[in-house]
Each structure stands twice: as C-alpha cells, then as structure tokens.
Amino acid sequence: LPNLNLYSFIEMSLAKSNLSIAEASAIQFKDPHDYDWHCDMDSKSRKCKVWLWTRPIGGREDEERTHRHWAMVFEWEDKAATYEALNTHGYIDPKWFDDKPSDSDKRWDDRTIELIGTYMFSPQEVNEAAKNNRLNCCQFSYGHVNCQHWVTVLGEDLDISVPETLAISEPWMALAASLKGFFDMNKTSILMGTAALGVGVLVGIGLSEVDGESKEKKKDNKVENK
C-alpha cells in the first residue's frame, strides 16, 4: 500500500461509492436519542414563513455564508420557533427554542436573514422533523457534517427549498469523516487489539513450526528403527 494515513485510505476506498446521504449519515457513534428534547404538541396546520438565519462562526467577521452558522426560523402568525444544530463534544446536537433569536443575544449581532418562502406547517410537524433529522448525533465535521448540513436536511424532510449556495459534500466524505472520528476516539483499543492479534498469529505460527519439527523427528526415528 502507498504511504497513506487512515483518513486518506478511507477516502480513496469510498470515493466511488453510491451511498445515499441517508446511508452515509447513518454512521453514528452515539445513541440517536441521547439529547435533550421537548416536544411541541401544537398540531394545527397553518401558514408559516420560513427564514434562514446565519451568523459568523465564533464571532469571526466572515461574509461568506458557507463559513457561517445556520439556523432555520419558522414564523406563524401567533408564534415562532428556531431550529439549529450545535457541535456538542464532537457530535451534532439538535436544538430548538420558542420564538426567534432575541435581539439581546450577542451571537446574532452580525446576522443575515433570508426569507426562504411561505409554507403550510403545524409546529408539531416541524418539531418531529427536527427530532428525527438523520444527522442527529452523527460525528460532527466542519467540512462534511455540520450545522449547515443539518438545516439542509431539515429543509429536505419538510420539502423546503433551501437556497442552493451550500455545496454539500459527497456522502462518502461524510462516511469517511465519521469513520475517522471513530478511529480517533478508539485508537488505543484498536491498536492494542491489532497488536494482540499479531502476537496471536506469531504464536500460532511458532507453535505450528514446533509441531512440524516434532513430527519430522518422529518420522526420522521411525526410518532409523527400520
């Protein structure tokens, strides 16, 4: 094999795969229900304006939308809700709260707001779609599985046309990122297991050789006795 690290090897191995986004994002290393969630039981379907809110990541000044945090805001005539995904200990952590982001929330001072469109939804329908987003609890990756991808998937599940300025990575890259994360988290166990396997193989070979030599000696003794 060429001199490749594990991540590069995985990328090369999966580069031509035909995995769907759903299949690639199914690689999870955390219970997909292991996050705090409260349900919205308002099941009345009515007109809803859907907005894309973005802000610089970590307070950095960056005009490129693909370098910003995304949130999807749903605004009904009588209420509003904000849905987003955060990076919590290396995993996609879905969040939502009633109303739009507050003006007192300094994180959104440098925000941009774009109206995606008006749809017919119940708050409960949106809530369930976010709760069941297939990226929930997946390994977080800035380039492959992040808040923007989570918002995009939420839009897809609700048949919302999210602006196509985000170039979503190929599914195999999401899978590669997840496998890399798994290897990084379990590197010691994997290496110890590999070493133990190697020792076991060497011991097995050694015993086989000893057994073979023993049989040869017995064979020679039989010849001499004749």
Residue type, 216: E
pLDDT the model gives residue 122: 98
Per-residue pLDDT tens digits for 152-169? 999 999 999 887 654 444
Per-residue pLDDT for 96 more than 70?
yes
Does residue 88 or residue 109 have the better pLDDT?
A: 88
- Band (pLDDT 50/70/90 cuts) for residue 8 is very low
The long-range contacts involving 27-33, CB below 8 angstroms and separated by at least 24 positions, are: 27/138, 27/139, 27/174, 27/175, 27/178, 27/179, 27/182, 28/137, 28/138, 28/139, 28/178, 29/91, 29/139, 29/178, 29/181, 29/182, 29/185, 30/91, 30/137, 31/137, 32/136, 32/137, 33/137
Measuring CA to CA, how many Å separate 178 from each of 91, 139, 150? 10, 5, 15
- Using the predicted structure, report yes or no on whether residue 19 has a pLDDT greater than 50: no
What confidence tier does 98 reach under pLDDT thresholds 50, 70, 90?
very high
Q: Residue 167's pLDDT is what?
A: 41
pLDDT digits (tens, 9 = 90+) for 202-220: 656 565 665 666 555 555 5
pLDDT in tens, 42-86: 999 999 999 999 988 765 554 554 578 899 999 999 999 999 999
182 vs 47, higher pLDDT:
47
Kindly tell me if the per-residue pLDDT of 2 is higher than 70.
no
Report whether pLDDT(126) > 80.
yes
